[in-house]
Amino acid sequence: MKNVKSRIIHAAMRLFAEQGTMQIAISDLAKEAGLSRGTIYNNLENPDELFRITCGMLFQELRDSIRSLSNADEDPALSIATLMRQLIRRVHDEPDWGRFIALFAMTEPQLGKIWALEPADILLRGQRSGRFDFPRDQIHSITTLGGGAMMGSISQVLQGTVTWRKSSSEIAELYLRAMGIGRREARRLASVDFDPLPRLDFSDVAQGLARPEATA
C-alpha cells in the first residue's frame, strides 16, 4: 500500500494533468487521494509549493528508475534507443504520468532535466567512443532533438493515433540514424526486447516531502 505522501503526489499528479493547471484545491486533492484535509496539511509543509514538489518528485523517481536499469557497459546506441522506448511505453502504461509530462515538461525546468541528464551521459559516452557521429559542442542540440521527438511521440500515444510499440521503435530508429548509425542497424537496435521502467512509485522519493506522516 502506498504511504501517505506517495498517495498525495500520485493524486496531485493526476489532478494537475486533468485540470491542466499548476494550482489545485486542497479539497479536490483530499478527495482524489482518499485522505482528510487535515492529513493533507499535516504532510505538506507548504501547499502552495505542491506543483513544484510534484515536478521534483517526478524527476527524482524517473531518474532513479532509469539508473536502476542502466548498464554502463552496454552499447550506447542500444542504451539510448531502449531508454526512449521505455519512456514511451510508460506513457501507454501510465497515461496520467504521460499527460503530466506532455503538459509541463517543456516549460518546467525540473521536468526539462529528464532528457538533459541521463540521456546526455549516454550520448556523450557514445560520442567519445566514436559510436555516435556528432561534434561534442552540439550535445545540447542533440538532447533537444531527442526531447522534441519524445514529446511528439508522447502526444501521439496519448491521443491513440499510433501504438507505443510503433511510435517508440520509429522514433528510436530515426534518432539513431541522426547520430550516424546505419539504417539497418538502427532498425535492429530499435526493435530489441527490453525491460519496462518500474511502475510509478513515489514511496521512496516522497519520504522527505514534509513533516512526519499523519494517520489517514
Q: What is the pLDDT along the chain (216 residues), one digit of tens a residue?
A: 368 989 999 999 999 999 999 999 999 999 999 999 999 999 887 888 999 999 999 999 998 998 888 888 899 999 999 999 999 999 999 999 999 999 998 888 888 777 777 889 999 999 999 999 999 999 999 999 999 999 999 999 999 999 999 999 999 999 999 999 999 999 999 999 999 999 998 887 766 554 433 333
Q: Angle between the 95-104 and 50-69 helix axes, to the nearest 10 degrees?
A: 120
| 105 closest CA partner among 91, 121, 120, 85 | 91
CA pseudo-torsion sign 188, 191, 195, 201? positive
Residue 78's CATH number: 1.10.357.10
Q: How far is CA 208 from CA 54, 74, 77, 101, in A?
A: 13, 33, 36, 23
Look at residue 182 and tell me if it is in a domain: yes
The number of residues in the chain equals 216
- Predicted confidence at residue 208, as pLDDT, reads 54
Considering the domain architecture, whether residues 47 and 63 belong to the same structural domain is answered as no
**Same domain membership, residue 30 and residue 66:** no
pLDDT at 209: 58
Q: What angle do CA 162, 176, 99 make, to 5 degrees?
A: 40
In a domain, residue 46? The reply is yes
Residue 213 pLDDT: 38
Q: Is the domain of 155 the same as that of 70? A: yes
37 and 137 within one domain: no
The number of distinct structural domains making up the chain is 2
Looking at residue 174, its pLDDT comes to 97
User: Among the residues of the chain, which ranges form H helices?
Assistant: 4-19, 26-33, 37-43, 50-69, 76-93, 95-104, 109-112, 118-129, 139-159, 164-178, 183-189
State CA 171 to chain mean position distance. Answer: 16
Are residues 69 and 148 located together in one domain of the fold? yes
Whether residues 116 and 46 fall in one domain: no
User: The domain containing residue 89 runs over which residues?
Assistant: 58-189
**Does residue 169 fall inside a structural domain?**
yes
Specify the pLDDT at position 104: 93
Q: Based on the fold, state whether residues 128 and 31 are members of the same structural domain.
A: no
16 & 46 share domain:
yes
Domain membership of residue 214 (yes or no) is no
User: Does residue 69 lie in a domain region?
Assistant: yes
